[in-house]
């Protein structure tokens, strides 16, 4: 039941990137949530960073306004070179939030690093509610990314990290609510001293009307449409072409696996746009050098992720860490057995051999064993995928949007009560 409020929630959603044009999992789920909140009566606006190539500074999509603030480009991993652009962005964000202060009650921040520096400050000054949605446990373990620290002077980098971590911890105490999208993030928040009453565990969700299994006949039609071999066992990866996703490990293992199983085929779906640790060139070079062109395709980015999943037989995801791992849920919803590392949602969701297959992070031999074991279990795939579908019912997108709406209404009602009490 949604709490009765003085007026519909007015929400400003802050995120480093947003769909469109960005197409990563984090950007897509933010778009689904914002539009879902609007459909339930909330008034929402998105503030994000400018893209490369440049997008419209201000854009209206149906009932949603999107503001894109400069500068564009990737900050992560650039060390001191990111400092001035980041400060410029924070200045622009501060001015926009201050000038729009009458247009929102609640600020939801996607990510726990730089944007909260401004969002929490503004919310405290103007008595707004601030919600921090933590996208990955690494935001809590690494206040400054390891890549950036490596590019800095060691002593200066440690000093900056200490100062930034202290500021971050001080701001965390003034956040009204944290959203943990996985149990792993919930634990990381607790380790940072955040009390349980400040944490709401709300997972990401997917649209089960889009992601669902298809018949064998439809699978073959999709393979023809997407230029995927019809007579091979097709493995698929979906996500960014990032080294941290374990793709170099996967392609190296694949060159060994096809010797034993020549009838297998790998589709890697995704791009390296906005990825600081891209491995796209490495993948292309390795495929050419090891003559894997007949068994691997880099399919690029696509609006038809659901169709690629429905056309495949097995999903593989060797990521080193995840905030959630939406791709895993999408694959399970499409009826694929999944071979994954125990990161994000997979750590709690996947039971090895029952509703999927799990192997340790960054372990080449374990990945190979897991892929071989999955292939040896082909006759059990229908039972495994049935169990997988049953285990993901809590991740229905409509249920997740309802949880966000309830949270926003509760925060708004609490603010109204607090305002009345202060006037007495």
Rounded to an integer, the average pLDDT of 135-156 is 67
Q: What is the pTM of this model?
A: 0.86
Angle, to 10 degrees, between the axis of helix 397-423 and the axis of helix 25-39? 60
Q: 147 falls in which pLDDT band (50, 70, 90)?
A: low
Are residue 221 and residue 121 in the same domain, yes or no?
no
Are residue 255 and residue 376 in the same domain, yes or no?
yes
The distance from CA 62 to its chain's CA centroid, rounded to whole angstroms, is 24
DSSP string covering 54-68, please?
---SEEEETTEEEEE
Q: Looking only at Cα atoms, what is the longest distance across the chain? A: 78
Does residue 248 belong to any structural domain of this protein? yes
pLDDT given for residue 134 in this prediction: 94
Does residue 3 belong to any structural domain of this protein? no
pLDDT given for residue 7 in this prediction: 81
Classify strands 64-69 and 58-61 as parallel, antiparallel or unpaired: antiparallel
Are residue 189 and residue 228 in the same domain, yes or no?
no
Provide, rounded to the nearest whole percent, the portion of the chain with pLDDT above 70: 91
For residue 43, give the H/E element and its range: strand 43-49
Are residue 268 and residue 161 in the same domain, yes or no?
no
Q: Looking at the predicted structure, is the pLDDT value of residue 397 above 90?
A: yes
Does residue 5 belong to any structural domain of this protein? no
Rounded to an integer, the average pLDDT of 222-250 is 96
Nearest to 302 by CA among 227, 247, 249: 227
Please say whether the beta carbons of 118 and 50 come within 8 A.
no
Characterise 323 by phi-psi region: left (phi > 0), alpha (psi -120 to 50), beta (else): alpha
Does residue 55 belong to any structural domain of this protein? yes
pLDDT in tens, 55-70: 999 999 989 999 999 9
Are residue 22 and residue 157 in the same domain, yes or no?
yes
Does residue 210 belong to any structural domain of this protein? no
Does residue 15 belong to any structural domain of this protein? yes
pLDDT in tens, 335-362: 999 999 999 999 999 999 999 999 999 9
Residue 357 backbone phi and psi in degrees, to 5: -130, 135
Q: Domain of 81?
A: 10-205+398-423
pLDDT given for residue 424 in this prediction: 45
Strands (E), 249-400: 264-269, 296-300, 314-317, 338-340, 357-358
Domain count, the chain: 2
pLDDT in tens, 45-103: 999 999 988 999 999 998 999 999 999 987 776 667 878 999 999 999 999 999 999 99
Distance CA 382, CA 138 (A): 35
Strands (E), 84-146: 106-110, 129-134
Before 246, cis peptide (omega within 30)? no
Q: Looking at the predicted structure, is the pLDDT value of residue 1 above 60?
A: no
pLDDT in tens, 300-313: 999 899 999 999 99
Residue 76 backbone phi and psi in degrees, to 5: -60, 135
Q: What is the CATH number of the domain that holds 314?
A: 3.40.50.2000
∠ Cα 417 95 141 (to 5°): 75
């Amino acid at each position: 039941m949604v709490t009765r409020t003085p007026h519909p929630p007015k929400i400003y959603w802050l995120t480093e990137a947003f769909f469109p044009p960005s197409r990563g999992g984090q950007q897509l789920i933010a778009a689904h949530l914002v539009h879902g909140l609007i459909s339930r009566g909330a008034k929402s606006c998105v503030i994000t960073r400018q893209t490369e190539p440049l997008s419209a500074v201000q854009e209206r999509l149906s009932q949603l306004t999107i503001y894109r603030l400069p500068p564009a480009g990737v900050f992560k991993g650039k060390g001191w070179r990111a400092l001035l652009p980041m400060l410029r962005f924070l200045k622009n964000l501060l001015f926009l939030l201050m000038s729009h202060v009458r247009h929102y009650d609640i600020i939801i921040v996607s990510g726990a690093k730089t944007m909260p520096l401004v969002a929490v400050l503004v919310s405290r000054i103007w008595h707004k509610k601030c919600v921090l949605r933590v996208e990955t446990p690494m935001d809590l373990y690494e206040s400054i990314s390891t890549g950036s620290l490596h590019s800095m002077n060691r002593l200066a980098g440690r000093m900056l990290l200490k100062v930034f971590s202290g500021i971050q911890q001080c701001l965390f105490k003034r956040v009204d609510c944290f959203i943990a999208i996985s149990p792993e993030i919930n634990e990381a928040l607790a380790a940072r001293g955040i009390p349980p009453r400040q944490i709401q565990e709300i997972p990401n969700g997917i649209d089960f009307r889009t992601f669902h299994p298809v018949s064998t006949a439809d699978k073959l039609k999709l393979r023809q449409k997407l230029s995927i071999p019809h007579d091979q066992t097709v493995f698929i990866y979906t996500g960014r072409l990032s080294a941290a996703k374990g793709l170099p490990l996967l392609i190296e293992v694949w060159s060994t696996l096809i010797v034993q199983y020549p009838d297998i085929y790998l589709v890697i779906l995704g791009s390296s746009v906005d990825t600081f640790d891209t491995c796209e060139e490495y993948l292309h070079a390795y495929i050419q050098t090891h003559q894997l062109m007949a068994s691997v395709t880099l399919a690029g980015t696509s609006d038809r992720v659901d169709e690629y999943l429905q056309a495949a037989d097995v999903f593989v995801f060797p990521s080193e860490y995840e905030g959630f791992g939406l791709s895993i849920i999408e694959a399970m919803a499409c009826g694929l057995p999944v071979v994954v590392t125990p990161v994000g949602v997979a750590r709690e969701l996947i039971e090895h051999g029952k509703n999927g297959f799990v192997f340790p992070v960054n372990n080449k031999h374990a990945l190979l064993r897991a892929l071989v074991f999955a292939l040896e279990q082909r006759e059990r795939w229908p039972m495994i995928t049935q169990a997988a579908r049953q285990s993901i019912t809590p991740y229905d997108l409509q249920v997740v949007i309802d949880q966000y709406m309830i949270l926003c209404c509760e925060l708004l009602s609490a603010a109204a009560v607090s305002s009345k009490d202060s006037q007495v």
